[in-house]
Amino acid sequence: MITTITHKGNKFELNLSQPIDISIPLRSGEENVNAWYCSPVKIEPVVMGDWVGDVNQGGSVNFRNVFLNPHGNGTHTECVGHISKENYSLNQHLKLFMFIAQVISVTPEKINDDLVITKKQLETLLTFDHLEAIVIRTLPNKKEKNNHHYSNTNPPYLHHEAAGWLAEMGVQHLLLDLPSVDREQDEGKLLAHHAFWKYPFATRLDCTITELIFVDEKIKDGWYLLNLQITSLENDASPSKPVLYSLTKVE
C-alpha cells in the first residue's frame, strides 16, 4: 500500500507493504547476541508432574517459559528509568510509535584505545531539521553482530558530547547496533545516557534509546518511517521490534 505523509512541511511517499525489521530475533541458547555478562536466553517447556508443554514430547500444546534480560539478550528499547532514581516505566512514557527517522552509517573514530562515534561525525551526516529518530549503523557491518558476545570486549560507543548534541537537536529516539551508547567500563558514569536524557535537571521522559539492532547492508542510508514496537512491560526497558518503511521525499 503506497501512501503520502506530510511532516513539518515536508511531503513523503512510503510503501506500507514493505516493512524492514531491524531487530535481532531472540533465540534460545548461546547463538543469540549477548552483552553485560547476562545468561543466554532460555526457552523451555513447562513441566508439571507427568505433563510437558511440548507437543513433540507428548504434550497437548506447546507451553513454554521464556527467561531473558532485556538489556543483555537482544534488541531492546529503554527509557530514562534505566539510570534514574525514580521508577520510570518505558510502557508509561512511550505513547507514540511512529517517527520520521534517518539511517546513517558511521565508522567510529579511534580515540586512545577506544572506538568512538563523535559529535563531528553526526553533524556531518545528519541532514534534516526537526529529526525525530536516528538509526546508527556502525562500520564495518558484519553479520556476526546478530550473535556476537560483547561482554569484556570494549565495543564502540557514542561520545557523550554527541549524545548531548542529539538531545539539543530534538532527536527523541536513538537507535544503534551496539550494546550501549556508553563505554563498557566507565566507572558507572553513563555520560551519554545522562546527556541524551538530560537527566536529572531537564529530564526527557518521552525519549528512548534502542540498542543491539542490526541494519542489513541492503538498507540504504536515508529517510524512513520508524515504527517502534515494544511489549506492554512495566519496566525501564523492553525487548523491542523497530521496523522501518522507506520514505521518498516529494518535491
Is residue 97 situated within a structural domain? yes
Is residue 215 situated within a structural domain? yes
Tally of domains within the chain: 1
Is residue 65 situated within a structural domain? no
Residue numbers of the domain that contains 181: 2-25+71-250
pLDDT tens-digit map of 192-251: 999 999 999 999 999 999 999 999 999 999 999 999 999 999 999 999 999 999 998 887
* Count of C-beta atoms within a 10 Å radius of residue 191: 18
SS3 125: helix
Name the H helices within the chain: 90-93, 119-125, 160-168, 191-197
Is residue 110 situated within a structural domain? yes
Query: Does the predicted model carry a pTM greater than 0.85?
Result: yes
Q: What is the CATH number of the domain that holds 174?
A: 3.50.30.50
Is residue 62 situated within a structural domain? no
For residue 125, with 0-12 CB atoms within 10 Å meaning exposed, 13-18 middle and 19 or more buried, which class applies? Answer: middle
75 within 8 A of 215, measured Cβ to Cβ = no
Q: How far from the centroid of its chain's Cα atoms is residue 1's Cα?
A: 26
Is residue 153 situated within a structural domain? yes
pLDDT tens-digit map of 131-180: 899 999 999 999 999 999 999 999 999 999 999 999 999 999 999 999 99
Is residue 54 situated within a structural domain? no
